[in-house]
Amino acid sequence: MKFVHVLNGPNLNLLGTREPATYGTLTLADIEARLTARCASEGIALSFRQSNHEGDLVGWIQEAGAKGEPVILNAGAYTHTSIAIYDAIRGSGAKVIEVHLSNVHAREDFRHHSTISAVAAGVILGFGALSYDLALDALISQSKTTKS
């Protein structure tokens, strides 16, 4: 693996100030800095993006899928509603690890269903910002396993 995309959906630009009891106090920039350092130590290029617009996420997923590059995706609220993101993952063949900062199953009922999980390679949730690190660890580990 030479490249990984980290894609973040709506309201994740508010991390650090939005409901810190639920989402923690780290900002998206803090998470990006941590992942950038880890990727650099592994010789991996990182694309880290955030958008409040569903179409941006769809386009970025399609780009990654066309290049055969993996995606760590926190789709935010689109997790529970977006058939378009589901179709982008399935249609492009993108390898996606779905992440969530909070344990969505311990929250409101409407957050218990993910339209993305069925087409994701895996799901990591409930570990705060560490969820991103765990997803990156999984991609790195799988990459090393497939080379052996």
Beta-carbon contacts of residue 8 (< 8 Å; ≥ 6 apart)? 28, 48, 49, 50, 51, 74, 76
Q: Which of 78, 86, 100, 132 is catalytic?
A: 100
100 assigned to active site: yes
Structure tokens at 116: 């993305």
Q: Is the pLDDT of residue 138 over 70?
A: yes
- CA–CA distance from 68 to each of 2, 99, 107, 109 (Å)? 10, 19, 34, 34
Reported as type and span, the H/E element at residue 4 is strand 3-8
One CATH from 3.40.50.9100, 3.10.50.40, 1.20.120.140, 3.90.1170.50 for 3-147: 3.40.50.9100
Assign 145 a pLDDT band (cuts: 50, 70, 90).
Answer: confident
Residue 30: CA count within 13 A, CB half-sphere: 12
Catalytic residue among 23, 78, 86, 132: 23
Q: Is the pTM of this model over 0.75?
A: yes
Q: Mind listing the pLDDT tens digit for each residue in 57-79?
A: 999 999 999 999 999 999 999 99
Helix (H, G, I), strand (E, B) or coil at 76: helix
